Amino acid sequence: MKTLFHAFSILILTTWPASRADAQERRHNLMPTPAEVHFQSGKLTVGASFSVAVSGHNDRRMEAGIDRAMRRLEGRIGMELKRGLATDATGPTLVIECREAGRSVPSLDEDESYSLEVTSGRAALKAQTVVGALRGLETLLQLVESDRDGHYIPSVKVEDKPRFRWRGLLFDSSRHFQPLEVIKRNLDGMAAVKLNVFHWHLTDDQGFRIESKKYPKLTGKGSDGLFYTQDQAREIIAYAAERGIRVVPEFDLPGHATSWVVGHPELASAPGPYQIERQPGIFDPTLDPTREEVYQFLDAFFGEMAALFPDEYIHIGGDENEGKQWDRNPQIQAFMKERSIKNNHSLQAYFTKRLARILQKHNKKAMGWEEIMADDLPREVVIHSWRGPESLAEAVKKGFIGLLSAGYYIDLSYPASNHYRVDPVAADKNLSRQEEARILGGEATMWSEYVSPETIDSRIWPRTAAIAERFWSPGSVADVDDMYRRLAVTSVRLEELGLTHEKNYRSLLRRMAGGKEIGPLETLVSVVEPVKQYNRGKQRPTTMLSPLTGFVDAARPDSEASRQFAALVAGFLADAPRFQTNREEMERALAKWRDARPAIEAITRRSGLRDVEPLAAELSDLAQAGLEALACLVESKAPDGQWGEVKMAILQQAAKPKPSAVEFAILPSVRQLVIAAIELPQLRGQPPLEWHKRVKTLAEVARPQ
Amino acid sequence: MKTLFHAFSILILTTWPASRADAQERRHNLMPTPAEVHFQSGKLTVGASFSVAVSGHNDRRMEAGIDRAMRRLEGRIGMELKRGLATDATGPTLVIECREAGRSVPSLDEDESYSLEVTSGRAALKAQTVVGALRGLETLLQLVESDRDGHYIPSVKVEDKPRFRWRGLLFDSSRHFQPLEVIKRNLDGMAAVKLNVFHWHLTDDQGFRIESKKYPKLTGKGSDGLFYTQDQAREIIAYAAERGIRVVPEFDLPGHATSWVVGHPELASAPGPYQIERQPGIFDPTLDPTREEVYQFLDAFFGEMAALFPDEYIHIGGDENEGKQWDRNPQIQAFMKERSIKNNHSLQAYFTKRLARILQKHNKKAMGWEEIMADDLPREVVIHSWRGPESLAEAVKKGFIGLLSAGYYIDLSYPASNHYRVDPVAADKNLSRQEEARILGGEATMWSEYVSPETIDSRIWPRTAAIAERFWSPGSVADVDDMYRRLAVTSVRLEELGLTHEKNYRSLLRRMAGGKEIGPLETLVSVVEPVKQYNRGKQRPTTMLSPLTGFVDAARPDSEASRQFAALVAGFLADAPRFQTNREEMERALAKWRDARPAIEAITRRSGLRDVEPLAAELSDLAQAGLEALACLVESKAPDGQWGEVKMAILQQAAKPKPSAVEFAILPSVRQLVIAAIELPQLRGQPPLEWHKRVKTLAEVARPQ
């Protein structure tokens, strides 16, 4: 469900209103933004005497959640707080009033709402359920600020509940196995931004990652020994439940099934033998939907998994089945003919229906990728849209419930703003209110072809926090600049949970450089991003066994330096024809990039970083082009003769695919400057309005190509 | 065994020869330096075709070790290597010839020797045992270098074996519990620098950290729920054994025993009740050595532990028992009188003997801190010296075997050079060869009063690599400058094992600052160190429950910037009376420190870092003093009137204990400059020799006070 992503641009609602949500009366650092938040004057001091009491319902999960929150608060304020709940007469700082435990297994119907009122004397958190209280505690922690006098929470009233009930992160443990501690710290991150579904992609062509006691050959032959025992899975389920997060397991069928058939070739639609797949992509091995033994196997297997995973849903995949093995198998062809099954899609529908019935027998509901949709499928099946919003709209119009992942593919290396602008409810699909209500929410997808335990956090965070806001907050919360401002704060706060997204890239650079002097490499890595979509695999062929310790692994999506530079350029051009705004800052940045070349090359040559070495020269040339363009604009003087052609050639060169599999994120801004330098001086003598019109069209040329 | 450390300075052999070891013909990045290493011309290219074969003995541990090494090699060279052992006809790149498996449980008698020969065509690693081969693989990885053409291993012949058989790291899991993954990554670090004993300090006043199935109240009441299950302990033991590392558990008795008696007050020498100790220090609760029930309990407990821990040694602590409960207990006093036991030391000896006999019964040998030494103790007991080398000398003269930890207390925040200069065999103790042979080696001690899972690596690494070299390499390997050069490389390479010593401090700073702009704080943190000894507890009272997220936690021992500055100052003063060498570099450094103040204060004020705020002004004043001193020297002009007094007052102010519990590591160098500025210009007109004499005495004033 991931090789194509053509629908992405359609989803970007460029006309989204840029105004701040009404409820935001004051700059805050909350993410996701609550449904309603009203700041008041005054503040609650947060010091060593901070204490918590619970009134109404209380239980072990609540106390554990409070304890975790208090430990984080201690870390922030650098002071020890009293353990346990307050019992002293002076009155606690925070009173949590909770009505009931909520579901013992977190469910789609969990009430996650809460209200929070902070005055200068006291904080009061009210929630129907423990999970609601946990959500409120995260908001409370996000409200903590500081000034010279120490830490405090501003007086505020918050009324909050999620817009969508299903707010997930798909976590692919198949392509690259991830140890338990990686999952745990990411569950903590999810809870911090109020996500509530951990979609655990446990099987795929590249590895079968969950122990089956009934069928030990599944992991015995299909996992390289890298799998979760059932005890470990229970540990993760409990850890997630503690944080109000559901664990929805995915067993991808009937395609993406190589790892199933390595140990059980008898399930496949062709004889085998099979080996664990090491390449990324779409592969032929597919279960045989025509044999009863296959269903007997699946019945036993899903019976076991239904007992292990308490959630009411099991994801059965269903994506990207090209049916090649079916086409070539005479028995399958005969079966189809006999039953008047017209094509592979219908054959898969037959398989899905039978599988859904098996799940029903084990008291589970099925969900699957959009390809499983068929008219005679029960409407309780959840349709998971990955190719675009059309299929989701079609699903809810047909009466299915569904959720959206198209637009939230964080493995494609797009900036957070792209995902942030995608709404689970597409504005152009004319859905009725009932149809809209069938859209449960969405999931960010961390497909793991190109991530290791060392790099995965940097692919999930901080961008997923922006997606979490899209799922939780009112649709009117849509100011991209403000999102980025809060995202930077959120990103640092997420580090307190042990997440490594802000720190591991420097470790990679140090090891690449063979030492601690990595300043020049940091300069370079700050202006590049991993290539978008799945182009990495083309430019830098990588199997599932390849080391993920290259420059592209140190590079991170959504380059901050480039985004800041783009903002500088926009301000500079808007100042036409004067061209003074941001000028010096741009000159400094460009000069730094131009001049970094010798220092970068000194490292890359010493360290054998052959694929990184050419980037230094390209960066230098880009920056030089930018500086020259800037000078032309400032002096309002058209560049000489061939200048434009030469510089555009440099831009083209720098935009070419490279074995390093990174791209210059500053390139669109430099292109904008160069084209501006070519075009704008021709307007000399014309009124500013004419300049501004032309500048507006220039913003278009700056888009990534 | 840790509150006093007065013997430290005695141990520093200041007369240590500064020459490089003869065997080092070429600058290399090996740590520990092998016993013999001879580089030759030529090199072995390390690329995607690198492969390994084993001749002679092979087993699962060997293959797992090779696999780990190859995965690390892949990460370095950025290329995928073929999995498994080579079987192709072209011949493998590395042939490992191994004679035998070695002990199934790693032991003191393990043969760890190996030889390695690398030519331009092939690498050959020979070892008697698998552990020897693993040691050789670490050397091989350390030999990998790079240039513009890629990665290679220089042609070399290595003959290597350890100088000492016992090369340990004490890891205190009691004061601050450390999760399994923290232990695992540190075991990987230990293996990388050829340490072979993980001394696991499992019980102390502040927590009982190992499950006893016989006595569940030990952890049930004594651990806050933070303990290792027996399965987890087995996991650690197996993980260590895989890497040729012994696990020696310590159960500290009869003192340091609070956590024992919380659940079992009947064991104590006073009635109780008891609570888990939250303070650092020495406490009264002590087992009662006069009651048979206590020995019955210990017999059953150690029977259980003897079955759990396969090593032949069990450490029984024995340190810092002040016997206060004994003095106050009439029954104990009567017992002593009855048996003519003269004092508490003799009573403890009685206890130790009985405990040693219990261990013998369970086929274990006892070891303990130096206080357990007594004439009638069996000579198989290992004496562990912590207060100074005298007790170790005394022990081996009495026929005991022993090891040294005095001088290797990495929790005291001394620089690596201090530890590096300490030799397990003290030169001034006139030991015979037989007595020397009874010194088994030493252990670095990571007492955990002030470390969290987030900071512990930065207290262990990289300094412990220098200690590991002291334990493994010939005593003649003693060039401190070269040690630091190699330590910097080693430190970065250790990061590939997931160790966090180079990366976590910036995460702490970001969270303190509430954002990513931490440059000014980095400047400040680079020139400070945590205060030495156990002064932290005095300056910044901290219990075991306090957060460890302060500036002192981000500060690291052995400030590199300060060491580099000290070297600049030394070179500058040696250039007297010209004073030009290093001048500009020093001016740049000092100016940066002087000018950082406003930016640091902008952060500390915004972030409520009240204890950090005053440091900015002090740093600025120190740097200004240094700049003025420098100017006086360059101009060969005595400073005006009160200048010296004023500046010395500034130095004194900056040297005062602070609530931040850090100290300026640049202070000695600045003091040296200031005193030089006061004294040296008086020599005007005298020959350079006179200047140099005075400069030499100045080096003394620069020492930390």
Give the pLDDT confidence of A535-570 residue by residue, as tens digits.
999 999 999 999 999 999 999 999 999 999 999 999
Confidence class for position A72, pLDDT limits 50, 70, 90: very high
pLDDT score recorded for residue A24? 41
Tell whether the model's pLDDT for residue B359 goes beyond 50.
Answer: yes
Within an 8 Å CB–CB cutoff, is residue B75 touching chain A? yes
Tell whether the model's pLDDT for residue A9 goes beyond 80.
Answer: no
Neighbours of A273 (CB within 10 A): 9
Residue A504: closest CA among chain B residues belongs to which residue? B503
**C-alpha to C-alpha distance for A385 and B485, rounded to whole angstroms:** 55
pLDDT more than 70, % of chain A: 95
> B697 or A36: whose pLDDT is higher?
A36
pLDDT score recorded for residue A700? 79
Only one residue has tokens 């369970």, namely B362
pLDDT score recorded for residue A345? 96
Amino acid code (one letter) for B209: R
> Could you list the active site residues of A?
320
Confidence class for position B89, pLDDT limits 50, 70, 90: low
Average the pLDDT over A86-115 and give the result: 89
Amino acid code (one letter) for A71: R
Within an 8 Å CB–CB cutoff, is residue B281 touching chain A? no
pLDDT score recorded for residue A12? 39
Give the pLDDT confidence of B246-287 residue by residue, as tens digits.
999 999 999 999 999 999 999 999 999 999 999 999 999 999
Within an 8 Å CB–CB cutoff, is residue A48 touching chain B? no
Within an 8 Å CB–CB cutoff, is residue A493 touching chain B? yes
Residues of chain B with Cβ-Cβ distance to A496 below 8 Å are 511
Tell whether the model's pLDDT for residue A455 goes beyond 70.
Answer: yes
Give the pLDDT confidence of A161-171 residue by residue, as tens digits.
999 999 999 99
Enumerate residues 6+ apart whose C-beta is below 8 A from A21.
Answer: A33, A473, A474, A476, A477, A478, A479
For residue A152, the 8-state DSSP code is E
Sequential DSSP letters for A85-115: ----TT--SEEEEEEE---SS--TT----EE
**C-alpha to C-alpha distance for B412 and B533, rounded to whole angstroms:** 4
> B608 or A22: whose pLDDT is higher?
B608
Q: Would you call A511 and B488 a contact, using CB atoms and an 8 Å cutoff?
A: no
Sequential DSSP letters for B491-552: HHHHGGGT--TTTHHHHHHHHHHTSS--HHHHHHHHTEEEPSTTHHHHHS---TTS---SHH
The CA-based angle A19-A21-A24, given to 5 degrees, is 120
pLDDT score recorded for residue A427? 86
* Partners of residue A118 on adjacent β-strands: A123, A156
Q: Would you call A492 and B515 a contact, using CB atoms and an 8 Å cutoff?
A: yes
Enumerate residues 6+ apart whose C-beta is below 8 A from A200.
Answer: A171, A173, A236, A247, A248, A249, A250
The closest of A447, A445, A449, A497 to A467, measured between CA atoms, is A445
Q: Would you call A75 and B549 a contact, using CB atoms and an 8 Å cutoff?
A: yes
pLDDT score recorded for residue A4? 42
Tell whether the model's pLDDT for residue B217 goes beyond 50.
Answer: yes
User: What are the contacts of B344-347 at 24+ separation with CB within 8 A?
Assistant: B345/B371, B345/B374, B346/B374, B347/B289, B347/B323
Query: Given A147, A181, A545, which is nearest B83 (Cβ)?
Result: A545
Average the pLDDT over B131-150 and give the result: 97
Q: Strands A401-404, A382-385: parallel, antiparallel or unpaired by DSSP?
A: parallel
Q: Would you call B511 and A543 a contact, using CB atoms and an 8 Å cutoff?
A: no
pLDDT score recorded for residue B703? 64
pLDDT score recorded for residue A19? 40
**Do B169 and B199 form a contact (C-beta atoms < 8 A)?**
yes
pLDDT score recorded for residue B15? 35
**C-alpha to C-alpha distance for A396 and A377, rounded to whole angstroms:** 13
Q: Strands A401-404, A94-100: parallel, antiparallel or unpaired by DSSP?
A: unpaired
**C-alpha to C-alpha distance for B88 and B82, rounded to whole angstroms:** 11
Confidence class for position B551, pLDDT limits 50, 70, 90: very high
3-state secondary structure of A669: helix
Question: Within 13 Å, how many C-alpha atoms sit on residue A637's CB side?
Answer: 9
3-state secondary structure labels for all residues of A425-447:
CCHHHCCCHHHHHCEEEEEEEEC
Is this prediction's ipTM beyond 0.90?
yes
Which tokens in the block code for residue B359? 């261990």
Tell whether the model's pLDDT for residue B2 goes beyond 60.
Answer: no
Average the pLDDT over B496-518 and give the result: 97
* Helices B180-192 and B130-143, axial angle in degrees (round to 10): 80
pLDDT score recorded for residue A698? 86
The CA-based angle B601-B603-B607, given to 5 degrees, is 115
pLDDT more than 90, % of chain A: 91
pLDDT score recorded for residue B233? 98
pLDDT score recorded for residue B88? 67
* Helices B480-494 and B180-192, axial angle in degrees (round to 10): 140
**C-alpha to C-alpha distance for A378 and A375, rounded to whole angstroms:** 8
Q: Would you call A492 and B147 a contact, using CB atoms and an 8 Å cutoff?
A: no
**C-alpha to C-alpha distance for B207 and B183, rounded to whole angstroms:** 17
Neighbours of A343 (CB within 10 A): 11
3-state secondary structure labels for all residues of B167-208:
EEEEEECCCCCCCHHHHHHHHHHHHHCCCCEEEEEEEECCEE
Tell whether the model's pLDDT for residue B112 goes beyond 60.
Answer: yes
Tell whether the model's pLDDT for residue A95 goes beyond 90.
Answer: yes
Alpha-carbon gap: B39 to the closest alpha carbon of chain A (Å): 20
Average the pLDDT over B642-655 and give the result: 96
Within an 8 Å CB–CB cutoff, is residue B292 touching chain A? no
Alpha-carbon gap: A507 to the closest alpha carbon of chain B (Å): 7
pLDDT score recorded for residue B19? 40
Tell whether the model's pLDDT for residue A471 goes beyond 50.
Answer: yes
pLDDT score recorded for residue B22? 39
Enumerate residues 6+ apart whose C-beta is below 8 A from B462.
Answer: B416, B487, B488, B490, B491, B494, B501
CB within 8 Å of chain A, chain B residues 501-530: 502-504, 506-507, 510-511, 514-516
How does the average pLDDT of chain A come out, rounded? 94
Give the pLDDT confidence of A497-522 residue by residue, as tens digits.
999 999 999 999 999 999 999 999 99
**C-alpha to C-alpha distance for A582 and A565, rounded to whole angstroms:** 10
pLDDT score recorded for residue B686? 93
Instruction: Tell me whether residue B618 is one of the annotated catalytic residues.
Output: no
Confidence class for position A699, pLDDT limits 50, 70, 90: confident
**C-alpha to C-alpha distance for B178 and B452, rounded to whole angstroms:** 7
> B60 or B104: whose pLDDT is higher?
B60
Tell whether the model's pLDDT for residue B684 goes beyond 80.
Answer: yes
Tell whether the model's pLDDT for residue B16 goes beyond 70.
Answer: no
Give the pLDDT confidence of B427-477 residue by residue, as tens digits.
888 999 999 999 999 999 999 999 999 999 999 999 999 999 999 999 999
**C-alpha to C-alpha distance for B572 and B82, rounded to whole angstroms:** 53
Sequential DSSP letters for A18-55: -SPPTT--S----SSPPSEEEEEEEEEEESTT--EEEE
**Do B461 and B444 form a contact (C-beta atoms < 8 A)?**
no
Find the range with the poorest average confidence among A76-90, A540-554, B619-633: A76-90
Enumerate residues 6+ apart whose C-beta is below 8 A from A640.
Answer: none
User: Most A CBs within 10 Å: which of B486, B492, B601, B610, as the mutation test of the A interface?
Assistant: B492
Backbone angles phi, psi at A146, to 5 degrees: -145, 155
The CA-based angle A627-A630-A636, given to 5 degrees, is 145
Q: Would you call B547 and A514 a contact, using CB atoms and an 8 Å cutoff?
A: no
pLDDT more than 90, % of chain B: 91
Chain-centroid distance of CA A283 in Å reads 25
The CA-based angle A500-A502-A505, given to 5 degrees, is 85
Tell whether the model's pLDDT for residue B364 goes beyond 80.
Answer: yes
3-state secondary structure of A454: coil
Average the pLDDT over B625-639 and give the result: 96
Tell whether the model's pLDDT for residue B231 goes beyond 80.
Answer: yes
Within an 8 Å CB–CB cutoff, is residue B213 touching chain A? no
**C-alpha to C-alpha distance for A378 and A366, rounded to whole angstroms:** 9
Confidence class for position A356, pLDDT limits 50, 70, 90: very high
Give the pLDDT confidence of A201-234 residue by residue, as tens digits.
999 999 999 999 999 999 999 999 999 999 999 9
Give the pLDDT confidence of B310-337 residue by residue, as tens digits.
999 999 999 999 999 999 999 999 999 9
**C-alpha to C-alpha distance for A702 and A675, rounded to whole angstroms:** 9
Residues in chain B: 705
